[in-house]
Structure 1
Amino acid sequence: MPLQYSAAKTSIASKRNSLSKSPIKKFQKDAKKLLPSQKLYNQNLTNNIKKTGSPSPPVSPSKKDDREKLEVKDYNIQLDYQINSGNDDIIVAIDTVLQNRWSDETYLHDKFDLNYLKKLELEERIFKIKGLSNVTRSDIIKYRTQVIPNGLITTTQLYSIFSKQGHTFVDKLLELNIRKGSIRKFIISNASPIISRSLNNFQSSKVTYGFENVELVVKNNVFYDQINKTLISLDTTDPKELEKKQVLTKFFNFIKQNPTNLFVSSGEFTNAEISTLVQMGYITLNSNHFNEIENNFAISFPNCGIFLKLINEGRVWLVKCLNKTKHKELLEDEIFNKWSGKVNSSYNQNNPQLGFDVLKLNNFKKPFFGYDLNWVLADALGAGIIEVFNTPVGRGWRLTGKV
């Protein structure tokens, strides 16, 4: 009887639970709400043919948006996080993402007026942020210290940092550093949701679903530290734990000797060893969405599914935000206001005409836990979901039609 493999505990536990827990399934459910349903499309199309004799795009009922299309000044953009064109250090780029990914610790802006807290430790910093409940504060600390894996970024974020140099430039830098052993790349199959839509008519565009692979990057020393941390946690007095330690040690030696390998096969590890590594989250069964590929397993990072969920949640939020506008575009300041929940209160005891801005800190609540908007925009820009341009009144962002 062929050996059956169960998914890692750190990723999707089983197909039985995948419908409710998978970030991909959740994305599908949310994405269906973005555009008119196929049933409405067909109904409107049929009614229009009866009236006019020719088909035309249906119109989805929505709130009237009379804003004019943003004036494009140019596309010569210098984003806050972009590295100077003369600097081609990919490690610096990775550190830029990691050191600025949370809104309360980023040095790229101070839109939340939290710069005075940046030198404090995480727990002290979070509990000094006004406007958050103690439950939310505790959730943030737990998420960042115990839940989300540290050190992972997407290649799409790197594409955005080096957007002027191009994707090929980034791919070459990555390959060079992978061969040097300073970076490890992971390919997680079918992890990126996409929606193909018409560029000319957003209201009538047909929604289709497919899943692309996601490329994740981590510095090798971070990956090695993670493996060592797991090895130390195993109790060698327990025979089962000792066996796990022996398997993981063999895997550790393998990846150090093969820095460019993205996959392992049953030729390198026994079926029992592969099962152990899958359960520990260091490899995952490769697939092409419809079928699992026998004897082909992708090297992975434990709990990377949680990080991918954060990325996908950011994409869903951004698409919904831009899709609600007439021209599928907004100024960056407007996007930030929606991301943070910034509103203007018109009430003032001394002068009712003078309003004041209130930050609701929406992005500090579940599912973002303080994730910074810069990296939602960077991921979406690098993935081709949005484009950025200068206007006379600031940067603008527009959907391109690919999600």
Structure 2
Amino acid sequence: MSSIRIAEVLNYRDSLPPIVTVSHVQVLLSSPTAVEREIVELVHRGAMRKVIIGGRGGHGEALILVKDLENMIEKSNLKASFKEEFKKSLQQNPTALNFSRSRFTDEDAQALIHAGFLTSSTTNYTATDHFSRLGDGSRGTLTSLNSISKAASGSLEAIGGEGVVHASGGSGGGAQLAGNGDFSLSLPATGQFLKLLSNARLHLVFLLSKSKFREAPESLLRQRWDGGIEADDGASAAKMSRGEFSGVLPGKTRKWKHYYGISFEWILAECVGAGLVEVFDTRSVGRGIRAL
């Protein structure tokens, strides 16, 4: 890959939150019950935090180390004094997934929403309400249509004012201050992480569906995921020494172009944990993978 593409991949990876899905952790150990018990213990001790992403299906439960969460808060654009206050609030409520609206002022809540640490847990109040009701600007969300129509062309007021995207539910976990629901704890760029994860899961299942009966040896599925690049074995080394190259450059594969180098082992564990595939012993060519 070129140096520009390498920089893009590294920057993209660095922008993702340091989280792991609960289903992935359960695959690493043999007892899901023991995993859940250990998670609960670590959460109560304040070493780990669970975040629930509503509407995301099975991979909506994520875990993050408290020290990583505090580092994210420190690197955010929140006011220095409020950073300590927010961290203290999290430390006092290690198991809390939601926070009442009375806990934060409107200004502080809006700052947390812009930073991606809070979302609205209200289910019956959506971003379309802003556009279907006149006068929403009086509640501190979108400027009313009447005000927008009087604003000068090309000004911020003509498009709804500063922060209109965040207030309407976009860019960084936009929750609305209107409504009666509580706030839910969130993490910046979590949606970006889940989108990458969801697309990678679907792609692995698609690669598996190319085989008869939707099952294949692990070695074959790994080769498909890697995109047919040169293997690290004796035959490939001999070809390289003779100046021959029969594989595909890594930078040209879907694994790196679309999924930023997600390893086969990692995405396989995700799919097993999500119940999309299962691993079995073929008794002849090693482990096999079967789509469910």
The TM-score with structure 1 as length reference comes to 0.52
Partner of residue 141, structure 1: 10
Offset from partner CA, 1:299-328 (integer Å, 9 cap, x none): 112112221122112111112112233311
Q: Deviations over 1:203-253 (max 9, x none)?
A: xxxxxxxxx5611111111111111222xx56xxxxxxxxx4444432211
Q: Could you tell me which of 37, 53, 71 is aligned with 1:172? A: 37
Structure 2 gaps of 5+ residues are 127-178, 231-238
CA distance in 2, matches of 1:172, 1:135: 44
Are 1:263 and 2:98 matched, yes or no?
A: yes
Runs of 4+ aligned residues of structure 1 deviating over 6 Å after TM superposition are none
Whether 1:280 aligns to 2:137 is no
Counterpart CA distance in 2 for 1:213 and 1:319 is 16
Distance of 2:212 and 2:186 partners within structure 1: 41
Structure 1 CA distance, aligned partners of 2:281 and 2:246?
25
Q: RMSD value over aligned CA atoms?
A: 2.6
Change (3 A) 1:213 1:311: closer
Aligned residue among 247, 263, 283 for 1:358: 247
Q: Give the stretch that moved more between structures: 319-328 or 359-368.
A: 359-368
Q: Within 5 Å, give how 1:3-402 maps onto structure 2.
A: 132-145=1-14, 147-149=15-17, 151-162=18-29, 164-165=30-31, 167-192=32-57, 212=58, 214-230=60-76, 244-286=79-121, 294-342=180-228, 358-361=247-250, 362=253, 365-391=256-282, 392-400=284-292
TM-score (norm 2): 0.70
How many Å separate the matches in 2 of 1:137 and 1:364?
A: 13
> 1:313-359: CA deviations, max 9, x gaps?
21111121122333111111111111111168xxxxx9xxxx97524
For 1:155 and 1:291, locate their aligned partners in 2 and report how far apart those are by CA, in whole Å: 28
Q: For residues 283 and 221 of structure 1, what CA distance do their matches in structure 2 show?
A: 18
Task: Point out which structure has higher relative CO (alpha carbons under 8 A, 6+ apart).
Answer: 1
In the alignment, residue 380 of structure 1 is paired with which amino acid? C
Structure 1: gaps of 5 or more residues? 1-131, 193-211, 235-243, 345-349
Distance, in Å, in 2 between the alignment partners of 1:357 and 1:182 is: 48
Which has the larger strand fraction?
A: 1
Shift of 1:269: 1.8
1:47 alignment counterpart: none
2:10 maps to a residue whose letter is: I
The CA distance in 2 between the partners of 1:257 and 1:175, in whole Å, is 16
Bigger mean CA deviation after superposition, 257-266 or 334-343: 334-343
Query: 1:187 touches 1:262 (CA, 8 Å); kept in 2?
Result: yes
Aligned mates of 2:214, 2:60 — CA distance in 1: 25
Equivalent position SS for 1:141: helix
Q: Distance in 1 between matches of 2:11 and 2:202?
A: 24
Secondary structure of 1:295's match? coil
Determine helix, strand or coil for the equivalent of 1:189. coil
SS at the partner of 1:227? helix
Aligned identity (percent) is 29
Contact 1:322 1:399 (8 Å CA) reproduced: yes
Query: How far apart in 2 are the matches of 1:378 and 1:287?
Result: 33
The whole-number CA distance in structure 1 between the counterparts of 2:6 and 2:259 is 12
Q: What's the secondary structure of 2:121's corresponding residue?
A: strand
